[in-house]
Amino acid sequence: MQKLVVNPGVTEGVIKAPPSKSYTHRALALALLSNGESEVINPLISGDTSATIEACREFGAYIVERRESVVLKGKNILDVPENVIDAKNSGTTLRIFTAISSLTAKGYTVLTGSRSLRKRPMAPLINSLNHLGVNAWTTKMNGYPPVIVEGGGIKGGKTGIRGDISSQFITALILASTKAKGDVEINVQGQMVSEPYIDMTIHMLREFNGELKRNGKKIFIPGDQELKGAKVEIPGDFSSASFILAAAALTRSKVKVKGLNFDFPQADMKIPGYLKEMGQKIRVNKENGWIEIQGCELQPGYFNLKETPDLLPVLAVLASKAKGKTVLEGVKHTRYKESNRLLCIAKELLKLGVKVQVEEDRLTVEGRGGLKGGLFESHGDHRLFMAFTVLALSLKTRSIINGPFTHRDSYPDFLTDLIKLKADLKEIVD
């Protein structure tokens, strides 16, 4: 088993944010569906995005991976994959390519992934594809992967889809519907979570000459669009940057994260404001793309994370060191991530003696000082692994993080960057 030994210490220095995983997925999928050649500059190459690159290859894209870019030539008619599409641990890959699989001329595509991924719901997306004239189902008929999709195209029409589980369903429908035979109207039902991720999809779609109209929860996508190859540069990732900023807050250190682009919508751009509310000294330079933090005593607060679910692990570990009660609401959909994040975070913080209360849509953390190191389980979840690692830097004694080093799914240089910031880490395998 892999283990990470984390000794208490400070973090200080300057780090460049890794490229955005979310934008990389979307750019690659759109390049596959576009006429001509596309170049994705500064892509994130990680476990999750590698799954998307391989999926594009299976559908017939010609791909050249260069040092700082990926060049991809799309297909008018997608090939039926020779192999099963292995999305590994990437929910975004699974959902996007389930919808794209319907665009092959004929035949069947099978999609699956890791044990964790096979626990993530697919029924809302499959039901919507069925409404649009696609034959798709799960092998066990239970709404969970593996998934089988018959090619032949999307006919078009109207479909409703739940908005309270994952915005990835809506993203998948938007991207694939640009190639539908007829127009598509998506009606999002109930609460819409992670809405900035839909804004991200729309932003990238327009880079490839795509069109849609949106009126609140109604999204209209003209069918049979001619997407055009594009040259796009992937911005730095605020989600990944949040862990470095949290490390500085927890250890009361000074750190600057550069390489961020405030013109590209990202849900987790809210992290500087959240940190400021928790008592941290924050400087933001949007023109030059950096955030600087001077860690101070952490203050408790109230945060609604309906639109920023990926910040739950970061804010939860920050809250564990903020004396008083921090309330994190709008988080019920985090149960459907790489792990049941609500329950797993609570379980690990309770080991430290932190009082935690889990409700349907809320996590309350009562932080305190004097926390000693412990043994954390990462639960196969990259964001939990990174959150517990930065928390461990601030504890009074050594800690161990158990489990695979899943940070490679989204932030391959996470441990390297922490070491650059003077963190004392040691990887061991037993």
Residues with catalytic roles: 310
Contacts (Cβ under 8 Å, ≥6 apart) of 359: none
The answer to whether 88 and 47 have CB atoms below 8 angstroms apart is yes
Provide φ and ψ at 130, rounded to 5°. Answer: -60, -45
What is the biggest distance separating any 2 CA atoms in the chain, rounded to whole angstroms?
Answer: 62
Residue with tokens 């994190």: 328
Nearest to 210 by CA among 177, 169, 161, 167: 177
Nearest to 103 by CA among 59, 51, 167: 59
In angstroms, the first-to-last Cα distance of the chain is: 5
Cα–Cα distance measured from residue 2 to residue 52, given in angstroms and rounded to the nearest whole number:
26
Q: Are strands 254-258 and 231-233 parallel, antiparallel or unpaired?
A: unpaired
The answer to whether 133 and 157 have CB atoms below 8 angstroms apart is yes
- Buried (b) or exposed (e) across 308-331, using 16+ Cβ within 10 A? bbbbbbbbbbbbbbbeeebbbebb
Nearest to 198 by CA among 95, 284, 128, 118: 95
H or E element that contains 344: helix 341-351
Return the ∠ at Cα 219 (arms to 217 and 223), rounded to 5°.
165
Provide φ and ψ at 150, rounded to 5°. Answer: -90, 135
